[in-house]
Amino acid sequence: MSNLVPPHGGGPLKPLLLAANDRQEALARAATLRQVPLSSRELSDLFMFGMGAYTPLDGFMGEADWRGACVDMKLSNGLFWPIPITLSCARNAADSIALDDEVALTDEEGTIVGILRVTEKYEIDRTLECEHIYRTTDGKHPGVQKVMEQGDINLAGPITVLSEGHYPETYKGLYFRPAETRAMFEKRGWSKVAAFQTRNPMHRSHEHLAKIAIEIGDGVLIHQVLGALKPGDIPADVRVKAIDTLVENYFVEGTAVQAGYPIEMRYAGPREALLHALFRQNFGCSHLVVGRDHAGVGDYYGPFDAHHIFDTLDDDSLVIQPLKIDITFYCQKCDGMATGKTCPHGEEDRLNISGTRLREMFANHETVPAAFSRPEVVKVLQAYYDSLG
Amino acid sequence: MSNLVPPHGGGPLKPLLLAANDRQEALARAATLRQVPLSSRELSDLFMFGMGAYTPLDGFMGEADWRGACVDMKLSNGLFWPIPITLSCARNAADSIALDDEVALTDEEGTIVGILRVTEKYEIDRTLECEHIYRTTDGKHPGVQKVMEQGDINLAGPITVLSEGHYPETYKGLYFRPAETRAMFEKRGWSKVAAFQTRNPMHRSHEHLAKIAIEIGDGVLIHQVLGALKPGDIPADVRVKAIDTLVENYFVEGTAVQAGYPIEMRYAGPREALLHALFRQNFGCSHLVVGRDHAGVGDYYGPFDAHHIFDTLDDDSLVIQPLKIDITFYCQKCDGMATGKTCPHGEEDRLNISGTRLREMFANHETVPAAFSRPEVVKVLQAYYDSLG
């Protein structure tokens, strides 16, 4: 009997990746099918389906589920789901696909990565999706932009995933599927596990968040986004190296599990925080650290909108719980790390370095204060910035 | 509807203090009754009954409840209770008391503080009590010593409390009854409240524990023992002043409630940690911070016995949950406060000052490091030690 939280929906994990032995035959069959190219985001969702992160979904959503996810955060069967997972294609391509057809899904290089049995074709109201999911229809929002640019027709239906792309190879020792993280937690006897979501190298504020989670639970899953990020973000391999060195030097052995997962950020702020919680439950986590402006971008969301949205959910929406933490920083007067909830001192005592200023410091080889980032981490990042030339 | 945890047992709070208006008459009646003097510990328990901290008990325990609390941590009605709450008297005094008699309970100065209707007289097996509750029969253990010194016969029955002693007056603005702390929490909209038990001034390690509780909940109840302590402990008034200055200078307003309660420490380690949790539930707390060697003394208990004992309870024993925190210290390499669970560095990097060494530092006017104790707190304590002459 596992002491971990159950997968979302309460049933078993549903990884949609076909067993390796059966893949050859399926690929041969897929080669005969009409091809539908996936966008980068759709491909990342296919990989999420493949590993079981989107349990209990069987594939890309139909119209009723799309609308339910947008408007009520509920699928047509009543299950909580805060962001639609959909597949689009061009109208003329869709016209030549009949219901019940199987189509081959391909990545950006044309490689077949999955098969979709089309059970539904429908047009969506992009404005409705963006208003509900992104709280904006501003085309400058990177998530909105992708919705606006997607094909006119959504194809829905169950999928079979035939590939995990480059991930298992590129991120060996980091690319763990939900069944694997669950096994790791169980082996350690953990039941109270917080996920710490990151798409950045971990500075001291991030370390502080992760360590609060460790204090009150069995351990933390440092869970890195390996999918596409927005321009200017630190690439995954550098980030992995920076986090490795942090964990090695500043964490007690056996308190942190590192893993990466293939999602592409939508930057949907509060709604995405809910999706992050949902699939972390599939990974076996009982808590998700939700800090300031979780999954946000620009000024589209209030700094704690992603905290508040959890308070609006029905009790049975999720088993996983948010671990809401206020803005985090080093305070001179506190003589250590603190948050807005524990430090009564003023801005003048707090060390805040913006992303822009930090990049400038690296560009100029200025010393990044040890109170902001561990020297070992700074060294890794400096080498990366230097390599940009 | 309150969002706070229910009182222990699930019913309403049961403060046994008689309403002020009815006290005059009851005292007059009590003056005609045979008197039974309370020991210091028994008096502190009477005050705990009075304020409702021992909800849902009606008075001092009879033999079945005494045995159940000792052996199974359960009253005869099945309710969880980890430490017997009993009243003893000398054998010859007991001989002259008949069942169903009312007796007047008096404090050390002979003042009447309550009335007991005697429903049972019984002898206890002190060895059994000490082995179960204190895990030792060593007479040097301060809790064991009190059991060994108590009268030969226990008197049991429902009590009416007629006085709260000097507490409400001496600790105005600090002496809050469970109904009052609950009202304070509700007024602030709190539901997740951790109690931080202390019988010491708060140094940085204690501040760190309290702040972890604040990070993950709505706020912390800094809850001071106002009853008798062991020789060498800092007196309550000095401690209150030291904690006041800490909270004023280092806590965000509105995140900490300070209160004191009249229990006398038993130093029963793990069993007392359970009692501390139980009555904190009555005060409205959802969590109790349990650090290293909670309620311990000397080397009688393993440093984390008070953590482990919570794991042995049935699920329905308590609603309140322990917030178990490892040993806490300042670490040079971490450059801040840390615990055994979050700091991977060695003893040589950690600042540890024993109680003995700390008293020596105050005696010699050495500088207590700011990494160990906040300068404002040190100032209060130095003044106290100086006043000892």
Do both A204 and A131 map to the same domain?
no
Provide the chain A residues 315-354 that lie in CB contact (below 8 A) with chain B.
323, 325-326, 334-344
Return d(Cα A232, Cα A238) in angstroms, integer: 13
* Domain of residue B343, residue span: 169-261+326-387
* Catalytic-role residue among B177, B182, B199, B239: B199
The ipTM (two decimal places) reads 0.89
Per-residue pLDDT of A289-323, as tens digits, reads 999 999 999 999 999 999 999 999 999 999 999 99
Residue of B nearest to A291 (CA): B215
Interface check for A249 against chain B (CB to CB < 8 A): the answer is: yes
Tell which residue, A56, A141, A49, has the closest CA to residue A86: A49
Q: Among B164, B180, B212, where does a domain finish?
A: B164
Q: Tell me B74's DSSP state.
A: B
B242 is a domain residue: yes
Q: What is the DSSP string of B337-376?
A: EEETTT--S-GGGEE---HHHHHHHHHTTPPPPTTTS-HH
Return d(Cα A72, Cα A54) in angstroms, integer: 18
Interface check for B252 against chain A (CB to CB < 8 A): the answer is: yes
Record: contact A338-B211, CB cut-off 8 A: yes
Tell which residue, B45, B42, B44, B50, has the closest CA to residue B14: B50
Phi, psi of A8 (to 5 degrees): -60, 135
Is residue B330's pLDDT more than 90? yes
What percent of chain B stands above pLDDT 90? 94
B298 is a domain residue: no
Do both A210 and A77 map to the same domain?
no
What CATH number is attached to the domain comprising A26? Answer: 3.10.400.10
The count of structural domains within chain B is: 2
Per-residue pLDDT of B156-208, as tens digits, reads 999 999 999 999 999 999 999 999 999 999 999 999 999 999 988 999 999 99
pTM comes to: 0.92
Is residue A228's pLDDT more than 80? no
Could you tell me which residue, A8 or B199, shows the higher pLDDT?
A: A8
Q: Which residues of A touch B249 (CB under 8 A)?
A: 344
Q: Which among B214, B326, B342 is the nearest to A342, CB-wise? A: B214
Is residue B223's pLDDT more than 80? yes
Question: Would residue B73 be called left, alpha or beta, if left means φ above 0 and alpha means ψ between -120 and 50 degrees?
Answer: left
Interface check for A311 against chain B (CB to CB < 8 A): the answer is: no
Amino acid identity, residue B99?
L
Q: Which residues of B touch A323 (CB under 8 A)?
A: 216
Cβ-based contacts under 8 A for chains A and B: 61
Do both A51 and A69 map to the same domain?
yes
Sign of CA dihedral B103, B107, B113, B116: negative
Q: Which residues of B touch A321 (CB under 8 A)?
A: none
Average pLDDT (A360-381) is 96
Q: Which residues of A touch B341 (CB under 8 A)?
A: 214-215, 252, 255
Do both B226 and B368 map to the same domain?
yes
Average pLDDT (B140-161) is 97
B334 is a domain residue: yes
Tell which residue, B289, B319, B282, has the closest CA to residue B217: B289
Q: Give the pLDDT of residue A226.
A: 87
Average pLDDT (B376-380) is 97
Per-residue pLDDT of A163-180, as tens digits, reads 999 999 999 999 999 999
Do both B212 and B99 map to the same domain?
no
A25 is a domain residue: yes
Q: Give the pLDDT of residue A345.
A: 97
Q: Give the pLDDT of residue A227.
A: 76
Do both B237 and B358 map to the same domain?
yes
Question: Mean pLDDT for chain A?
Answer: 95
Nearest chain B CA: its distance from A336 CA (Å): 5
Q: Give the pLDDT of residue B227.
A: 76
Residue of A193, A335, A350 for testing the chain B interface, max B β-carbons within 10 Å: A335
A10 is a domain residue: no
Q: Give the pLDDT of residue B363.
A: 93
Q: Give the pLDDT of residue B229.
A: 67
**Tokens 């400058």 belong to which residue?**
A140
Do both B205 and B254 map to the same domain?
yes
Average pLDDT (B72-93) is 97
Average pLDDT (B306-325) is 96
What CATH number is attached to the domain comprising A222? Answer: 3.40.50.620
Contact B377, B201 (CB under 8 A): yes
**Tokens 């109270």 belong to which residue?**
A192
Contact B14, B22 (CB under 8 A): no
**Tokens 């949790």 belong to which residue?**
B277
Residue of B250, B255, B287, B290 for testing the chain A interface, max A β-carbons within 10 Å: B250
Q: Which among A252, A344, A371 is the nearest to B252, CB-wise? A: A344
Interface check for B251 against chain A (CB to CB < 8 A): the answer is: yes
Q: Which among B337, B340, B344 is the nearest to A250, CB-wise? A: B344
Q: Among A164, A184, A216, where does a domain finish?
A: A164
Is residue A231's pLDDT more than 80? no
Do both A193 and A131 map to the same domain?
no
Do both A159 and A203 map to the same domain?
no
Q: Give the pLDDT of residue A297.
A: 92
A6 is a domain residue: no
Residue of A nearest to B322 (CA): A216
Q: Which residues of B touch A250 (CB under 8 A)?
A: 334, 344
Is residue A233's pLDDT more than 90? no
Q: What is the DSSP string of B264-304?
A: PP---THHHHHHHHHHHHHTT-SEEEE-TTTT--TTSS-TT
Per-position b or e across B251-283, b if 16+ CB within 10 A of its CB: bbeebbbbbbbbbbbbbbbbbbbbbbbbbbbbb
What percent of chain A stands above pLDDT 70? 99
Average pLDDT (B115-131) is 97
B128 is a domain residue: yes
Catalytic, A364? Answer: no
A140 is a domain residue: yes
Query: Angle CA(B132)–CA(B137)–CA(B142) in degrees, nearest 5?
Result: 100
Return d(Cα B341, Cα A337) in angstroms, integer: 17
Interface check for A308 against chain B (CB to CB < 8 A): the answer is: no
Q: Give the pLDDT of residue B151.
A: 95
Which tokens hold the place of B339?
Answer: 């615990």
Phi, psi of A376 (to 5 degrees): -65, -35
3-class SS string, chain A: CCCCCCCCCCCCCCCCECCHHHHHHHHHHHCCCCEEECCHHHHHHHHHHHHCCCCCCCEECCHHHHHHHHHCCECCCCCECCCCCCEEECHHHHHCCCCCCEEEEECCCCCEEEEEECCEEEECCHHHHHHHHCCCCCCCCHHHHHHHHCCCEEEEEEEEECCCCCHHHHCCCCECCHHHHHHHHHHCCCCCEEEEEECCCCCHHHHHHHHHHHHHCCEEEEEEECCCCCCCCCCHHHHHHHHHHHHHHHCCCCCEEEEEECCCCCCCCHHHHHHHHHHHHHCCCCEEEECCCCCCCCCCCCCCHHHHHHHCCCCCCCCCEEEECCCEEEECCCCEEEECCCCCCCHHHEECCCHHHHHHHHHCCCCCCCCCCCHHHHHHHHHHHHHCC
Query: Angle CA(B354)–CA(B358)–CA(B361) in degrees, nearest 5?
Result: 140
Average pLDDT (A68-73) is 98
Provide the chain B residues 360-389 that lie in CB contact (below 8 A) with chain A.
370-371
Q: Which residues of B touch A215 (CB under 8 A)?
A: 212, 325-326, 339, 341-342
**Tokens 């309140």 belong to which residue?**
B320
Do both A248 and A365 map to the same domain?
yes
Q: Which among B211, B253, B344 is the nearest to A252, CB-wise? A: B344
Catalytic, A200? Answer: yes
Do both A141 and A180 map to the same domain?
no
Give the count of beta carbons closer than 10 Å to the beta carbon of residue A1. 3
Contact B320, B354 (CB under 8 A): no
Q: Give the pLDDT of residue A312.
A: 96
Do both B193 and B103 map to the same domain?
no
Per-residue pLDDT of A204-217, as tens digits, reads 999 999 999 999 99
Is residue B388's pLDDT more than 80? yes
Per-residue pLDDT of B348-372, as tens digits, reads 999 999 888 999 999 999 999 999 9
Which tokens hold the place of A108?
Answer: 């950006």
Record: contact B249-A344, CB cut-off 8 A: yes
Return d(Cα B230, Cα B264) in angstroms, integer: 9
Sign of CA dihedral A304, A306, A307, A313: positive
Is residue B298's pLDDT more than 70? yes
Per-residue pLDDT of A86-124, as tens digits, reads 999 999 999 999 999 999 999 999 999 999 999 999 999
Return d(Cα A275, Cα A263) in angstroms, integer: 11
Q: Give the pLDDT of residue B1.
A: 62
What percent of chain A stands above pLDDT 90? 94
Record: contact B215-A325, CB cut-off 8 A: yes
Is residue B56's pLDDT more than 80? yes
Q: Among A164, A189, A224, where does a domain finish?
A: A164
Interface check for B211 against chain A (CB to CB < 8 A): the answer is: yes
**Contacts with B56 (C-beta within 8 Å, 6 or more apart), sequence order:** B7, B8, B9, B11, B14, B79
Tell which residue, B225, B245, B250, B234, has the closest CA to residue B171: B225
**Contacts with B75 (C-beta within 8 Å, 6 or more apart), sequence order:** B61, B64, B65, B68, B69, B81
Give the count of beta carbons closer than 10 Å to the beta carbon of residue B79. 19
Record: contact B342-A371, CB cut-off 8 A: no
Per-residue pLDDT of B250-260, as tens digits, reads 999 999 999 99
Please state, in angstroms and as integers, the Cα–Cα distance from residue A113 to each residue in A28, A38, A68, following that order: 12, 9, 28
**Contacts with A193 (C-beta within 8 Å, 6 or more apart), sequence order:** A4, A185, A217, A218, A219, A220, A221, A284, A285, A286, A287
Interface check for B255 against chain A (CB to CB < 8 A): the answer is: yes
